[in-house]
Amino acid sequence: MQVRTRFAPSPTGFMHLGGVRTALYAYLYAKQNNGSFILRIEDTDQERFVEGATEVIYDTLRACGLNWDEGPDIGGPCGPYIQSQRKATYLPYAKQLVASGHAYYCFCTKEEIEARRAAVEAAGGTWKYDKHCLHLSQEEVQQKLDAGIPWTIRMNAPTEGETSYSDVVFGDMTFKNAESMDDMVLIKQDGMPTYNFANVIDDHLMGITHVMRGMEYLSSTPRYNYLYNALGWEIPTYIHLPTVMRDATHKLSKRDGDAYYSDYIDKGFLTEALVNYLALVGWNPGTDREFFTLPELVEAFDIHRINNSPGIFDVNKLEWMNSQYIAKMDFDQYLAMATPWFDKVLAGKNIDYRRLAELMQSRTDIFSRIPEKIAFLAEMPEYDTAIFFNKKQKSDETVAKEVLPLLLPVLEGISDWTEQNIHDVVMEKIQEWGRKTGSVLWPMRISISGQESTPGGAFEIAYLLGKEETLRRMRASLARLENA
Ligand code: GLU
């Protein structure tokens, strides 16, 4: 059997992380079976359609390396792959279901349905379409059709019995038909199929063997199976995926800015790290291994190890993983990606970005935190002179008051302001003065950075700041100490 999986997003906005993970799993499963991964755009609900959302889907999947074998832009044997362009495909199947008694024409208006719903609910019942039009004779139906009365086609759902099926992740599922099914609309008044109908028709016509989608569809599956059976089609293998959650009780949300792929990319996460981490949200390789490239995931992925409890998306874990990916990045690529973040605070400052990048690469967890870490290079921060105290470095304010006046003329004397020269000259003087290294370098670094923790030490920072700025800051710090 040739494995065919699909990702079938609705273009209703940005790409949710749960969607990216669904696409990833569908891709991995297809690739590890030398099968095909198909992209289908489900846009039959034109009211929910968002301009530009289809491009976001393409761009996100491409960025993640989830290249599809068949899809709207590249075509394929089962095209078109955009449901609105397949509009004419669905009606014949709906008519076939009408002919076999599994579906029927409905001429109820919205208002009529609303009135009946209100009455049922007022009497304390739960509304379900009441099969009102099921009992129209063929002649009555034909008359109404001829008269041009607007219609829909509804499924004639069973009202008794149960439907069972087996899901790869959730195991054996059984639903009471009366509870899980209703006479849902298959073809809408505008001639478009509903998602509930189109997904069955398309999955069959596109030869999909394994359907992966969110677990919110578990209870809808009996309806789909009813349609597959009514049409005499083979039911695909179902792999329902647990929801991606922020924690045990919270979903990822648009409002918290943690739901969409783009939220993470904008914050400076690497796509590779995100894809790697997402793979592990809901699946585990059965070993302690955590780092996987996409091809390695293709090898290791196992649908039987998908968890049926919610996948917790732990952003702290992702940050850690991201920092590991950044540390291993090619240096020039890091420099290129870090540059716009450097620019946010250092644009126009004439700072050696290459050197800064060397210092920052191992200290970057997410790119968006770079500006706060290097802001002191742009402007001397406010600081408490108490930070001149450092027991281990044998430094305090008194020591600093002695050391800075010694350092100033030494630094002034350096004409070629390279990191090496600053290092050599200062180290030589420290020897000459007979002082402990830390007791000079700690005050030096604090006086020009205003903070205890910096990327790089006194020499690196002095070099990055340039001679003039270094001296200016050191003099200002000394003045503060003397006036204290
Ligand atoms: N268009 C549906 C969605 O975005 C797809 C569900 C499915 O994969 O069948 O939720």
Centre of ligand 1 from the C-alpha of residue 444, in Å: 60
The answer to whether the Cα torsion of 365, 367, 371, 372 is positive or negative is negative
Q: What is the pLDDT of residues 356-387, one digit of tens each?
A: 999 999 999 999 999 999 999 999 999 999 99
Structure tokens at 237: 């293998």
- Closest-CA residue, ligand 1 atom 2, reads 9
Q: Which atom of ligand 1 is found nearest the CA of 212?
A: 8
Q: How many CB atoms lie within 10 A of CB 289?
A: 11
Report the percent of the chain where pLDDT is more than 90: 96
User: What pLDDT score does 123 carry?
Assistant: 97
User: What pLDDT score does 254 carry?
Assistant: 87
Structure tokens at 23: 């696409």
Q: Is 213 in the pocket of ligand 1 (CB under 6 A)?
A: yes
Q: What is the mean pLDDT of residues 107-116?
A: 97
Q: What is the mean pLDDT of residues 59-75?
A: 98
Q: What is the pLDDT of residues 186-197, one digit of tens each?
A: 999 999 999 999
Confidence tier at 1 by pLDDT (50, 70, 90): confident
Q: What is the mean pLDDT of residues 215-222?
A: 97
Q: Is 35 in the pocket of ligand 1 (CB under 6 A)?
A: no
**Cα–Cα distance measured from residue 74 to residue 80, given in angstroms and rounded to the nearest whole number:** 10
Confidence tier at 277 by pLDDT (50, 70, 90): very high
Centre of ligand 1 from the C-alpha of residue 131, in Å: 27
Model pTM score:
0.93
Question: Average model confidence (pLDDT) for the chain?
Answer: 97
**Has 251 been annotated as catalytic?**
no
- Asked if 201 and 225 count as a contact pair (C-beta separation under 8 A), the reply is no
Q: What is the pLDDT of residues 429-444, one digit of tens each?
A: 999 999 999 999 999 9
User: What pLDDT score does 182 carry?
Assistant: 97
User: What pLDDT score does 45 carry?
Assistant: 87
Centre of ligand 1 from the C-alpha of residue 52, in Å: 18
- Closest-CA residue, ligand 1 atom 10, reads 9
Confidence tier at 13 by pLDDT (50, 70, 90): confident
Structure tokens at 122: 């007022």
Q: What is the pLDDT of residues 126-175, one digit of tens each?
A: 999 999 999 999 999 999 999 999 999 999 999 999 999 999 999 999 99
Q: What is the mean pLDDT of residues 336-345?
A: 98
The active-site residue, picked from 95, 251, 254, 467, is 254
Centre of ligand 1 from the C-alpha of residue 24, in Å: 14
**Cα–Cα distance measured from residue 113 to residue 118, given in angstroms and rounded to the nearest whole number:** 9
Confidence tier at 237 by pLDDT (50, 70, 90): very high
The answer, yes or no, to whether residue 17 has pLDDT greater than 90, is: yes
User: What pLDDT score does 29 carry?
Assistant: 98
Q: Is 40 in the pocket of ligand 1 (CB under 6 A)?
A: no
Strand partners, 70: 38
Centre of ligand 1 from the C-alpha of residue 70, in Å: 17
User: What pLDDT score does 461 carry?
Assistant: 98
Q: Which atom of ligand 1 is found nearest the CA of 9?
A: 4
Q: What is the pLDDT of residues 45-54, one digit of tens each?
A: 888 888 899 9
Q: Is 456 in the pocket of ligand 1 (CB under 6 A)?
A: no
Q: Is 8 in the pocket of ligand 1 (CB under 6 A)?
A: yes
